[in-house]
Amino acid sequence: MDKTLSIVLPSYNEEQMIEKTTETITDLMEQEGIPFELIFVNDGSKDGTWEEILKQKDINPHVKGVCFSRNFGKEAAISAGMDQAAGACVAVMDCDLQHPPETLVTMYRLWESGFQVIEGIKASRGKESLIYKMFAKTFYKIISNATGIDMSRASDFKLLDRQVVDEYLRLPERNVFFRALSSWVGFKTTYVEFDVQQRTAGKSKWSFKSLARYAVNNITSFSAAPMQIVTFFGFIFFLVAVILGIQSLYMYFSGHAVEGFTTVILLLLFVGSVLMFSLGVIGYYISKIYEEVKMRPRYIISEIVGTDID
């Protein structure tokens, strides 16, 4: 029975980490006697990441490289790596080793014991700025409430059985959120805690702008919660309109002049702002529908190197 572990490593501008990541994981897997393959997915890097992957492929027979035609994003890189994986189980982890490789061994042993989804959850988030922590907390609270899945400590660090991988890849949507969908598909699941490690080389590629775009994209791809917010605002303004209407009728029939020109102007400005916000949310969902209808591929591969598992 094949028990090979395929390890998918999305890589964007990680030329300083490719060699160390390869050597660290290879030494660990060989020490533990775990058959494995390393699948580096070059997500349109602008540095020498692909050249480093090619170099490691020539040195290490366990290395397989996938190169995108351009940058398609981490979610696409994860899907491409899983699609190219030939192992009986597939792990996804960051190329920068902030996901500790030692935890892979724990995950693999749990898979051997019969679990099909082993979720890596963060015991600590490492060194992050206050703004980043607040942003992450808000994002995970929204997505957890929207999906009914506790994602407060969720990560992309996971190990999935081949059956789970096949079901995930069968999902037809173009915009996917791996972190949530791996829980949504179900199957026998367990959890492993890990401490986020510090980088030894390079720097994070996530800016506040890219994190905000990532959050909005994933929330709208996986949940209709923002649309429900629009409905909530509509209900609140209906109540306000009823109250103001009753007040205006009372003032009219009691013979008093209706005052409050400033209040009316402020209400018009506020209502107009909310309407524009609501139209923006609806428009964003329509754009998502448009993207799905076009049925463009999640990614385009320009080159694949390295042989499949014998």
As a whole number, mean pLDDT of residues 24-33 equals 89
pLDDT bucket at 287, cuts 50 / 70 / 90? confident
Q: For residues 6 and 38, what is the distance between their CA atoms, to the nearest angstrom?
A: 6
DSSP collapsed to 3 states, 98-130: CCCCHHHHHHHHHHHCCCCEEEEEEEECCCCCH
Burial class (CB in 10 A: 0-12, 13-18, 19+), 298: middle
Query: Percentage of residues in the chain with pLDDT exceeding 90?
Result: 10
Q: For residues 198 and 208, what is the distance between their CA atoms, to the nearest angstrom?
A: 19
Phi, psi of 112 (to 5 degrees): -60, -30
In this predicted structure, what is the pLDDT of residue 302?
Answer: 87
Give 85-104 pLDDT, tens digit per residue.
888 899 998 888 888 888 89
Question: 241 forms bridges with which residues in the sheet?
Answer: none
Structure tokens of 231? 């409905």
CB 66, CB 53: distance < 8 Å: no
226-244 burial code (b ≥16 CB/10 A, e <16): beeebeebeeeeeeeeeee
- Answer whether 0.75 is exceeded by the pTM: no
CB 21, CB 99: distance < 8 Å: no
pLDDT bucket at 283, cuts 50 / 70 / 90? confident
Query: Which residue is associated with the tokens 């007040």?
Result: 247
Give 166-183 pLDDT, tens digit per residue.
888 888 877 777 777 777
In this predicted structure, what is the pLDDT of residue 9?
Answer: 93
As a whole number, mean pLDDT of residues 114-132 equals 72
For residue 288, pLDDT beyond 80: no
Q: Which residue has the higher pLDDT, 243 or 157?
A: 157
